[in-house]
Structure 1
Amino acid sequence: MVLGLVALLALLNTHLISKRHEIRRVREELISRTIQHELVRQQSFTDPLTEIYNRHSLEDVAGRFISHARRLKKPLTLMLIDVDRFKEVNTRFGHLTGDVVLADTAALLKNSVRGSDAVFRYGGDEFLVILADTSSADADNVVERIRSSLLEWNRAGHLAGLELSLSIGVSEWSDGKTLDELLDSADRHMYTAKADRKVGKAKSIGV
């Protein structure tokens, strides 16, 4: 009788241990799948060259920024940035150097903003920055940080005989303005800045 009970308890213990191992295995598999899913999601939202947000992610990320600004009645500013004479960079120095310029520009922009802001590769040689809780007037401080960092980059002589410059268009969100309207406004200001640079004006930002 006693031996039978001991055997039964041993069998139950073995069963419980087996179940615990099975539960642990299932839990680890679920965690692994969740991590892989998140990595895939992040990769789909990330530009592989510059390691910043890609254009595909813009609607989702910008939507969250706009919702935050609307809910808390906070300012929000968008900056559209174009690398001037990028075709000339590719022609004179090659596409590998062009890739380095794009990656360095992305890093420069990220280092010029806060962790609460967002930086995107918007097109081939265009970048976009969303500045949370920031008016267009306050965005001037960000522009100055970008200019200062770009000056240091040029002083390092990365492009022999050619200084890199950026044209920047700024647009401030107001309640009721759509993302497309915000982008159109920033785009117009950016091309105004580019035109000003071509005619020798010291202006690189339009507000």
Structure 2
Amino acid sequence: MSTSQLQLFQSAVMQSWNAIVITDADLAAGCCVEIANPAFCAMTGYSLDELRGRPLKMLQGPDTDPAVIDHLRACLREARFFEGTTTNYRKDGSSYIVRWNISPVRDDDGVLTHFISVQQDISEHVRTERENRLLARALDATSDPVLLTDAQARIIFANTAFVEVTGYPASEIRGRTPALFKSGAHDDAFYAGLRSSLASGQDFRATFINRRRDGSLYHAEQSISPICDEAGRITHYVSVSKDISQRVDMEQALRDAATRDKLTGLYNRHRGEQLLEEAAAEARTGGGPLTVIVCDVDHFKQVNDRFGHPAGDRILIEVSGILRQSVRGRDAVIRWGGEEFVIVLDACPQAAAIDLAERIRVRIAAHRDVEVGRVTLSLGLATLAPAESTDELIARADAALYQAKRGGRDRLCVAESRG
């Protein structure tokens, strides 16, 4: 090696960012230090004078891994490359985690003369990794579903709670986007608001209706937050949610209890009167004609007296089902009281309402209960007149119903139009 090359080698070693130490190859003496660059001295806290002539065993301590040291000694004995990680100790007694490799150095005749070691203090890296693992375990242990995506909304982490709620294994959703869980229950404006909030660096909070792997829906109170780097660029998004399906179901049950008839599941009279007023207001502002049908199960008292109230209840349930199946989705079917029902047909001309009422009458008459047999329905129909109140409308339909009963039952009567 020329003088210039030797000088270059010495400069490279002494100026290297990595810690470099060169020892002799005297295994019996422990391979003592001959050269250590400033980076090695800074890492260990020892000066070159304090290191020179001493074996690096001086850096070992209570937490130094014996298995790593045993492997190191075997490699040195066999003059082969070594690489490992363990805990070392500085001059002041503080510990650090070192990752290092050792290479044997031979002379021109192939005789082993030295070992050169390149080392790095990876304590901060290990600490960060441990903190990240702890954070991951903490996120995984929390009972709230947590989802982490990259800036392109590709899923990179889902905790156990999220997996349990959605039914998707983590391996199946990793790399996909949260669009996988869309239920179709939200409109474009909902997602536009989400994108706008996140793009401006703000959190987005809402109740989501999501779809599980098995196709079932669930409600989630969800908060989505952007994560930014030091330059303010969005690098990730984190979502924390809570499955509130049980609460939503309970609230719906309470609403149903307040608005639905317990036996038939139809609207109760209180809610029915509200719906009738709403339909009448719409009809008065040009929403189309409003027609109501009032119907009553014929000879219902005789059914109860002869077959008992359970049979009577069953008849009411069967009639309710036929009424629901016979009308449009927008129409309201109401249990008005006892065996009496009211059907509110908004935006329905009287001629179409008469056809519907007749079909209902025929379907009821054709139905056979397993115990009671055939039952029939009498119906009265009226269409809202200008300036007429809903009470007056119901009274006219009621009068038409009683006309049908007096006329022999199992028939429809239509109230005369009001001028």
Unmatched tracts of structure 1, length 5 or more: none
Consecutive unaligned residues of structure 2, counting only runs of 5 or more, are 1-120, 146-160, 162-220, 222-240
Counterpart secondary structure, 2:330: coil
1:143-199 residue CA offsets vs partner (Å, 9 max, x unmatched) = 221122123125x77536xx522221112124543322222222222122222227x
For 1:120, the equivalent position in structure 2 comes to: 334
Instruction: Give % identity.
Output: 30
Structure showing the higher helix proportion among its residues? 1
Asked if structure 1 preserves the Cα contact closer than 8 Å seen for 2:365 and 2:377, the reply is no
Q: Counterpart in 1 of 2:414?
A: 206
Give the one of 401, 408, 415 matched to 1:190: 401
**1:101 CA displacement:** 1.4
**Which of 160, 168, 172 in structure 1 is aligned with 2:383?**
172
Q: How far does the alpha carbon of each residue in 1:85-138 deviate from its partner, in whole angstroms, 9 at most, with x for none?
A: 111111122112111211111112122212221111110110111112212222
Looking at structure 1, the residues matched to 406 and 281 of structure 2 have their Cα atoms a distance apart, in angstroms, of 34
Contact 1:81–1:168 (CA under 8 A) maintained in structure 2: yes
Structure 1 CA distance for aligned equivalents of residues 334 and 379 of structure 2: 14
Task: Tell me how many residue pairs correspond in the alignment.
Answer: 201
Corresponding residue of 2:355 = 141
Instruction: Name the SS for the 1:81 alignment partner.
Output: strand
Contact 1:55 1:120 survives alignment (8 Å): yes
CA 1:23–1:82: 2 relative to 1, 3 Å: same
Residue 91 in structure 1 maps to residue 305 in structure 2: yes
After TM superposition, the structure 1 stretch with the greater mean CA deviation from structure 2, 92-101 or 122-131, is 92-101
SS in 2 for 1:53: coil
Q: Which residue of 2 aligns with 1:40?
A: 254
TM-score, normalised by the number of residues in structure 2: 0.42
Corresponding residue for residue 7 of structure 1: 127
Q: What is the Cα deviation at residue 13 of structure 1?
A: 6.6
| 1:190 partner letter | L
Instruction: Return the alpha-carbon distance in structure 2 between the equivalents of residues 150 and 32 of structure 1.
Output: 38
Measured in 2, the distance between the counterparts of 1:6 and 1:106 equals 69
Per-residue CA distance 1:11-58 (angstroms, 9 max, x = gap):
367447746846538632444322321232123322232222221321
Partner of 2:294: 80
Counterpart position of 2:392: 181
Structure 1 residues 59 and 6, CA, compared in 2 at 3 Å: closer, same or farther?
farther
**Is the deviation greater in 57-66 or in 163-172?**
57-66
- CA drift of 1:74 comes to 0.8
Do the aligned residues in 2 keep the contact of 1:192 with 1:206 (CA within 8 Å)? no
- Residues in 2 aligned to 1:87 and 1:137: alpha-carbon distance in whole angstroms: 32
- Give distance in 1, aligned partners of 2:337 and 2:318: 15
Letter in 2 for 1:171: A
Deviates more, 1:130-139 or 1:24-33: 24-33
Q: Give the whole-Å Cα distance in 2 for the aligned partners of 1:38 and 1:22.
A: 25
User: How well do the aligned residues superpose, as a CA RMSD in angstroms?
Assistant: 2.9
Q: Normalising by the residue count of structure 1, what TM-score does the alignment of the two structures yield? A: 0.79
Give 1 or 2: higher strand fraction: 2
CA pair 42-18 structure 1, distance change in 2 beyond 3 A: farther
Other-structure match for 1:101? 315
